[in-house]
Structure formats: C-alpha cells, structure tokens
Structure 1
Amino acid sequence: MTVSPTTTTVVCLKGNKRQMEHRLWEDWLQYAARLFDRHYGRWANDDPFGYNEAASVSLLAAAASFAGHVVQTEFSTQKKVAGHPVVGTRGTDRRYGRGDLLIRTEKRSWAFEFKQRFGKFTESYLRTDLERASKCADAIFEDEDGVPVAALIMNLSLIEDDEKIEKSCEVIEQFARNSDIDFCWRLDPPDKCAPTYFCFTIRAESTT
C-alpha cells in the first residue's frame, strides 16, 4: 500500500543518533506523520492522536508495519510479579498479562508500554506518567519479548488557547531534557495544529 508524502514534520528533540533506535524509530515516526496527513486530509481538523491511548497505539502500530516491521498490539505475555525475585520459567515470580505494542526487526525487538496525556501538562503529571509507564515496562521479560520501553504520548489538540499550547510545549520539552527519557520527538502537523510528543525510555526501571 502506498503512503502519500508527508507535510507533517517530525523533529527529534533528544536522543543519541548513534543508537539503532534513533534511526529506526525516527523512520517509524515519519510513517506515523504520513498516516496523520492521510487522516487529516480526509477529516480536516481531526487529530488522530487526539482520541485515546489505544487509538494512538493502533496508529503507531500501523506506521511500524508500513516501515517494514512485524507488529503486535495488546500482546499476551508473562510478566514479572513485583517484589518476587525471578526464579525461572515457572513460579510466583510470573503472572499472565499484556503489553501495549511489540515491534520486531531483524536485529532487535522492543516491547512498549504507553501512557498518554491530554490537556494539562506539568512536570509533576509528566513524572507520574513516566513512572507509571516505567512500572509496566519493568515487568517485561526482555529475553522473551524484547527490550522493554516506557513510552509517553502527549497530545495538545484539546488545548484551544495558543499561549497555553506554547507553555505546555515548554514544560514538555524541559521535562524531556531533564528527565531519564532517552528519546523525544515532536510531531508538528500542518495548519498550525497543536503538536504531539513521543518520549521513550529504554529499559526503564520503576522507583516504586
């Protein structure tokens, strides 16, 4: 299936360009931008990342598929039980659960756990969201599902005031610079629409 050229831009705000993730994930998000444009071109003023977390992850999954990767959403897996040491393939250290998004490439696989925020952005809220995503990612067995990644989606489309959008962008970008986030990209739509941010922490560890 042919994906039309993008007018939405993807800007990397943080990340080591020498890491594999930078190259593959930026390409992935470029496809997400193209899908954004297809959606926006048909339903003007409708942000496909402005619905909910599940809808956003489904769009990211489609983009990863266009990028040539093997993708699964809501995949069933075994997860670590908090407070129990890992003792093997059976026992009280494991429980059945689900992960949000699994992306497999020839060289590496990643298991993502997402949290999405709309509307109100403060450092405290963002830190809490990252901790929640990290707690989920920390439960993933890397040798079974791939490298665990805590991921945040921050969509500003519900904010109508331009000044509040600008302030929210400042808060998000400062948080990305000063936190444990490894990679951060901003998706800038056309027509001065509000941006969406994607932040990722590899092998995130929960502090709670």
Structure 2
Amino acid sequence: MALGKVTMIVGDRRTLEAKHWSKWFGKISIIRQRFCDWSDDFDPFHFNETSSVAALANAATLAGFVSQTEYILDKRHSTRGRPWRRGRGDLWIADNESEFCWVFEAKQHFAATGIREDTFDKHLRLAMTDAEAIDREEADRRFGCLIVVPSAKANHEILSERMDHLAKSADFAFRLDGNSGPIWLAFSLVK
C-alpha cells in the first residue's frame, strides 16, 4: 500500500483541531503501511473499531501527541437523573506543547456503495451521544467520531463521492486515501 493523502472535507481550518489533526492524520498512512508490511496486507481500519482506534492512537503518538485508549473515566448514565458512573473512554489525545486535549467516543461503520444519509447520521449521532456522557472536565473538547470504511464489495470511486458529500454534515471530516481503500473520519463537537 502506498502512503495515502489526507483531505479535509469540512472544518474550520483556523481551529486548533484543523492544525493539529492534519498533522496527526498525516501519520495514519504510516501506521496502515506498517501493518500491511508486517502481516500480509492487514489494514487495522478494515478489522474493527478497537483496532481502528488503536491505529489512531499510534498515529497520534507518531505525530508527537500523548494518547490513551480504552481508559477509565466518569460518564453520565443514560437513565433519568443521569447519575455519574465509571465508564471507558475510547480515545484521549493531548498536545503537551499547547496543553490542549481532546476526548473521542468512536463508532465504526462498514459502508456499502449506496450508504444512506440516515445511516451515516445515525452512527455519528450514536458516537456524539456517547461523547456527551463524558464529564466535561475530562478534556478541553469532546467529540463523537465516526470511522467509515468501505465494505468488501463497495465501489471505492462511487463511495468516495457519496461519503465526501455525507461527511459535510459533520463539524470536521477527513478522507484518508490509500491502496487498501479510503477511510473517512467524521467528528461532531459536543457543544
């Protein structure tokens, strides 16, 4: 797999996220390549959410950030009254230089060529709901993150056009191209 291109589909380029995340996501192709070289074209993004989040954490470390996956934190319970409970955060990233950090709750979807808008929105909303449950003191900003990977039978060219359109509904979205196919990262900010 050749190293891939990172395209920002939507997002304010003046923000800390746009500046820092472009650097971070630029390292994802290196992680994907290392896995493919090591184990017969295994791309962690084509496996499951846990391996995708681990690849994101590895890329963040390569980009000079501090990262943690599947760690214990306080979350609001979904029941009435919403008492705090212990839960797990999918991903925490910090930049020591700017002393700024983000926490992410991720969902992954293997998309067919004709992915529907409501399917995309539903999965991003689920990630956002999980991020909203995290204590606001956990990070400077909280995000729901949807990782979209082409399904085995998807037409990458048609899906790319469709996903680039759908991803515009997120606060930030990136397409990461590579020989094993594109992936999309869509983020919704907890306000």
Give the TM-score of the pair, scaled to structure 1: 0.81
Q: Over residues 120-165 of structure 1, what are the superposed CA-to-partner deviations in whole Å (9 max), with x where a residue is unaligned?
A: 3221111110111011000011213441100010111523x5xx33
- 1:165 maps to 2:156: yes
Gaps of 5+ in 1: 1-5, 86-91
Give 1:115's match in structure 2, choosing from 107, 111, 116.
107
**Is the 1:76–1:96 contact (alpha carbons within 8 Å) kept by the matching residues of 2?**
yes
- 1:187 maps to 2:173: no
| Structure 1 residues 3-42: aligned runs within 5 Å | 7-42=3-38
**Is the 1:8–1:36 contact (alpha carbons within 8 Å) kept by the matching residues of 2?**
no
> Which one has a bigger Cα radius of gyration?
1
Residue in 1 that maps onto 2:142: 148
- 1:197 maps to 2:184: yes
Matched residues in 2 for 1:194 and 1:7: separation?
11
Q: Which moved more, 1:136-145 or 1:12-21?
A: 136-145
Matched residues in 2 for 1:174 and 1:196: separation?
14
| Structure 1 residues 119-130: aligned runs within 5 Å | 119-120=111-112, 121-130=115-124
Count of aligned pairs between the two proteins: 186
**Is the 2:174–2:185 contact (alpha carbons within 8 Å) kept by the matching residues of 1?**
yes
Matched residues in 1 for 2:139 and 2:18: separation?
20
Residue in 1 that maps onto 2:131: 137
**Is the 2:72–2:86 contact (alpha carbons within 8 Å) kept by the matching residues of 1?**
yes
- Describe the SS at the equivalent of 1:38: helix
Give the TM-score of the pair, scaled to structure 2: 0.88
Matched residues in 2 for 1:119 and 1:184: separation?
16
Residue in 2 that maps onto 1:71: 67
Deviation at 1:7, TM superposition (A): 2.3
- 1:81 maps to 2:44: no
Q: Over residues 8-50 of structure 1, what are the superposed CA-to-partner deviations in whole Å (9 max), with x where a residue is unaligned?
A: 1111111111000001111111111111122223445432210
Matched residues in 2 for 1:22 and 1:58: separation?
21
**Is the 1:157–1:194 contact (alpha carbons within 8 Å) kept by the matching residues of 2?**
no
